Amino acid sequence: MEHIQKAVEKLASPRLRAAVSIQTTLLSSLTNLMREEGMMQLLPVMVSPITDPLSHSVLEGSIKYGSIELQLTKSMILHKQLALASGLEGVFIISPNVRLEHPERGSTGRHLLEFSQLDFEMRGRKMEDVMRFSERLLAQAFSDVKKRHEKELELFGRELRIPSTPFRTYDSRDLEREYGPDWERIISSSSKDPVWVTNHEREFYDAEDPDKPGTFRNYDIIYPEGFGEGLSGGEREWEHSRILYRMEKKGMDASPYSAYIEAARMGKLVPSAGAGFGIERMLRYVCGVAHIEEVSPFAKVPGKEIIF
Ligand code: AMP
Ligand code: MG
């Protein structure tokens, strides 16, 4: 009963109203810039035979349609790549993702079982293009929030900084050498503005540098003040042989991805780079709150009772 009362009180609170109005401004600033850039908006895919394999373990989420098993979307990465086959220069989606994170992630303050990404992909672009564009998106969106939501930010006691660009860039291997496995927390807590961390070995679709095998052309935004990761992206593998090679190297079973692999074999995947901002995490940072659930009306926190 107490849980239900708390959930209802949160829904009825001025803080939640303030958070949702800030979120509305964030989304309109970000997507307007994408439209100005000539990018086209896709509608979300929510179920498909394939989804992002992710580089960390989550509980499996799928539904049955007759005898067919459909995955709940973990991210639209593979669909973004496929959508560029039509000749579109760039695409974006406000994409609902279901990731059944392990219960211990409930205490990180930044994991939900369902969340939304502002996910985008640009044909023929390189990592530096996406990094500069993402910085521009954040600076513009934060400055619009500051202009329009003085009262709401005050309610959260938040002094929001407009980050100066370009953000500082670190290589994950250098950070790991200097700070050990806890580098993300350390670099986040000691920074005033968001920073980039590049070169992560993760999913098969993030491109390996052809000139430096073992180095990866991908990147994360780490928010400052201990808020941690807010965006991940990369240049993509798109050639049939490279996709097969990367899947094999990761020891993946390629068979569930046969249609995607066939599209690559037909030459329909194109070079691209992109990224996805976690919307709830961005809002958490902008409002400066400890837990993402404070700014998310129907938050599902791993390991906690689910009310709405
Ligand atoms: P990923 O490609 O896995 O890094 O996801 C892209 C972005 O989505 C991350 O940088 C986060 O901002 C956000 N995100 C990922 N997982 C979660 C989660 N469980 N809850 C809330 N946001 C998430
Ligand atoms: Mg990530």
CB 58 within 8 A of CB 245: no
Peptide bond into 166 cis (omega under 30): yes
Token pair for residue 128? 């530096």
**From ligand 1's centre to the CA of 105, what distance in Å?**
12
Complete edge-to-edge strand list for the sheet that includes strand 47-48: 47-48, 68-72, 62-65
Longest dimension (CA), the chain: 59
**Cα gap 236→84, rounded to integer Å:** 12
Q: What is the pTM of this model?
A: 0.98
The rounded radius of gyration (Å) of the Cα atoms in the chain is 19
pLDDT digits (tens, 9 = 90+) for 146-198: 999 999 999 999 999 999 999 999 999 999 999 999 999 999 999 999 999 99
Residue 305 exposed, middle or buried by CB count within 10 Å (0-12, 13-18, 19+): exposed
pLDDT digits (tens, 9 = 90+) for 31-67: 999 999 999 999 999 999 999 999 999 999 999 999 9
Residue 34's nearest CA partner among 227, 283, 274, 297 is: 274
**Cα gap 225→17, rounded to integer Å:** 24
99 in contact with ligand 1, CB cutoff 6 A: yes
Residue whose CB lies within 8 A of the most ligand 1 atoms, among 57, 76, 117, for a mutation test: 117
228 in contact with ligand 1, CB cutoff 6 A: no
pLDDT digits (tens, 9 = 90+) for 219-251: 999 999 999 999 999 999 999 999 999 999 999
CB 283 within 8 A of CB 19: yes
* β-pair type (68-72, 62-65): antiparallel
